């Protein structure tokens, strides 16, 4: 029972970093799935090469031990082996490059028209999110700041240094365009589960496209040194079903437009 | 029962195929204002450009540009 509980406790919050974590967080987007798959594919060949090289190394150390073989043969050249050990590793790295580049270029490819645009603006030291698709004038109708919850205000079960007061709510299974920028110094908008890490540069708009495949709460942290509170500017993305997103947005929109 | 929000935003533009979308926002802003000078303020044809630049540009930038247009210091071709 204890073991079960322990298992589920470690499995359920896999969209945030956990203590002593070795692997990646669970993928929430096709991009992250691609990154994890590429990592595993490369690791298979990496282990093969590692074992092979270690075997050669240990064998050489064993057979040319000074007690075993006091006067080794003085062979310093070997054309065949030199050609082989040059061509072969370069072929291997070329074969690794093919899927790697395919993934890399697919990451910044905008294939379809996105359904919503969210602007993530980094500040020292909080984030502002603008949902401007529903604006009918230059007045912002749905904009909010997202601050970290300080340690003393945390409730039971919330993650330290990761929880924020206002989460970014996005619809799941929908193509999103996130425009990342900054108002002061460079920041970075990074959510490991969605395979996104995009620098927020003042005066520049960086676009990332994501498709969150499952509902959930995804945690990330600032990934560009942005000042003293760099460690205290987390990102929390909450993916909700599409219809919930619609009602959520219209609920937040109406009171604000009513005031104006 | 509140009316369902339509999920619609500025489409991907083949002139700006890269990560850097700064020009995309700026161009849409200019296009809107050129459109209104050509067709008049009341024209409905320009409304889509307004939607595009509002979706792409940070509010702070739009405010700054609006101010610059009023004072005549806007740097773009209008």
What are the tens digits of pLDDT across the range A48-70?
Answer: 999 999 999 999 899 888 888 87
Lowest mean pLDDT among A70-74, A134-138, B60-64: A70-74
Q: What is the pLDDT of residues A30-51, one digit of tens each?
A: 999 999 999 999 999 999 999 9
**Domains of chain B and any CATH numbers:** 22-71 (1.10.10.140)
Lowest mean pLDDT among A75-84, A107-116, A191-200: A107-116
Interatomic CA distance for residues A41 and A33, integer angstroms: 12
pLDDT at A38: 95
Tokens 């970075």, residue located: A188
Which pLDDT band holds residue A249 (cuts at 50, 70, 90)? confident
Does A173 touch chain B if contact means CB atoms closer than 8 Å?
no
Q: Within 10 Å of residue A162's Cβ, how many Cβ atoms?
A: 19
Average pLDDT over residues A8-24: 71
Interatomic CA distance for residues B35 and A111, integer angstroms: 28
**Which distant-in-sequence residues (6+ apart) come within 8 Å of B56 by Cβ?**
A117, A179, A205, B10, B21, B24, B25, B28
Nearest residue on chain A to B22, judged by CA atoms?
A205
pLDDT at A113: 85
Minimal CA separation from A96 to chain B, in Å: 25
C-alpha distances in Å from residue A3, one per residue of A10, A20, A218, B73: 11, 18, 25, 68
User: Is A2 or A15 the better-scoring residue by pLDDT?
Assistant: A15
Q: Return the DSSP state at B76.
A: S
Which pLDDT band holds residue A252 (cuts at 50, 70, 90)? confident
Q: What are phi and psi of A240, to 5 degrees?
A: -120, 160
Interatomic CA distance for residues A38 and A43, integer angstroms: 8
Interatomic CA distance for residues A2 and A63, integer angstroms: 52
Question: Residue A110 and residue B17: Cβ atoms within 8 Å?
Answer: yes
The pair of structure tokens assigned to A222 is: 């600032």
Which pLDDT band holds residue A218 (cuts at 50, 70, 90)? very high
Question: Residue A174 and residue B7: Cβ atoms within 8 Å?
Answer: yes
**Domains of chain A and any CATH numbers:** 30-107 (1.10.287.90), 116-259 (2.60.40.420)
Q: What are phi and psi of A132, to 5 degrees?
A: -110, 10
Does B1 touch chain A if contact means CB atoms closer than 8 Å?
no
Give the one of B4, B9, B20 whose C-beta lies nearest to A204's C-beta: B20
DSSP string, chain A: -HHHHHHHHHHTTTTS--TT--SPPPP-SHHHHHHHHHHHHHHHHHHHHHHHHHHHHHHHHHHT-TTT-SS-------HHHHHHHHHHHHHHHHHHHHHHHHHHHHHT---S--SEEEEEEEETTEEEEE--TT-SSSS-SSEEEE-BPPGGGPPTTPPTTT-BSSPEEEETTSEEEEEEEESSS-EEEEEGGGTEEEEE-BT--EEEEEE--S-EEEEEE--S--STTGGG-EEEEEEE-HHHHHHHHHHHHHHHHHH-
SS3 B1: coil
**Which distant-in-sequence residues (6+ apart) come within 8 Å of A121 by Cβ?**
A127, A128, A129, A130, A181, A182, A183, A200, B58, B60
Percent of chain A with pLDDT over 70: 91
Strand partners, A198: A189
Does B2 touch chain A if contact means CB atoms closer than 8 Å?
yes
Which pLDDT band holds residue A7 (cuts at 50, 70, 90)? low
- Given a cut of 50, is residue A260 above it in pLDDT? no
For A126-159, letters b (16+ CB in 10 Å) and e give bbbbbbbbbbeeeebbbbeebebbeeeeeeeeeb
Does A229 touch chain B if contact means CB atoms closer than 8 Å?
no
Question: Which residues does chain B have with pLDDT short of 70?
Answer: 1-5
User: Is A6 or A106 the better-scoring residue by pLDDT?
Assistant: A106
Does A181 touch chain B if contact means CB atoms closer than 8 Å?
yes
pLDDT at A2: 55
pLDDT at B47: 86
pLDDT at A255: 58
Average pLDDT over residues A146-175: 90
Interatomic CA distance for residues B39 and B45, integer angstroms: 8
């Amino acid at each position: 029972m204890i073991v079960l509980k322990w298992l589920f406790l470690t499995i359920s919050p896999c969209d945030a970093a956990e203590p002593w974590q070795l692997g990646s967080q669970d993928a929430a987007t096709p991009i992250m799935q691609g990154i994890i798959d590429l990592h595993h594919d490369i690791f298979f060949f990496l282990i093969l090469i590692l074992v092979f090289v270690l075997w050669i190394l240990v064998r050489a150390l064993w057979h040319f031990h000074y007690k075993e073989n006091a006067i080794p043969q003085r062979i310093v050249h070997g054309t065949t082996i030199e050609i082989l050990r040059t061509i072969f590793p370069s072929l291997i790295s070329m074969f690794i490059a093919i899927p790697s580049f395919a993934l890399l270029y697919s990451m910044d490819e905008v294939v379809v028209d996105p359904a919503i645009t969210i602007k993530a603006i980094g500040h020292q030291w909080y984030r502002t999110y603008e949902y401007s698709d529903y604006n009918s004038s230059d007045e912002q109708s749905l904009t909010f700041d997202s601050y970290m919850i300080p340690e003393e205000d945390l409730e039971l079960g919330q993650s330290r240094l990761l929880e924020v007061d206002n989460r970014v709510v996005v619809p799941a299974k929908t193509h999103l365009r996130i425009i990342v920028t900054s108002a002061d110094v460079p920041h970075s908008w990074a959510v490991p589960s969605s395979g996104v890490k995009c620098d927020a540069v003042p005066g520049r708009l960086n676009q990332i496209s994501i498709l969150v495949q499952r509902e959930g709460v995804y945690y990330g942290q600032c990934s560009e040194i942005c000042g003293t509170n760099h460690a205290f500017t987390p990102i929390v993305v909450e993916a909700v079903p599409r219809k919930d997103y619609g009602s959520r947005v219209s609920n937040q929109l109406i009171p604000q437009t009513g005031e104006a | 029962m509140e009316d369902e929000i339509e999920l619609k935003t500025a489409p991907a533009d083949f002139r700006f195929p890269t990560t850097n979308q700064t020009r995309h926002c700026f161009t849409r802003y200019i296009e809107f204002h050129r459109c209104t000078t050509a067709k008049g303020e009341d024209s409905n044809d320009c409304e889509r450009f307004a939607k595009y630049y509002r979706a792409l540009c940070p509010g702070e930038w739009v405010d700054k540009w609006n101010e610059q247009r009023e004072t005549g210091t806007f740097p773009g071709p209008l």
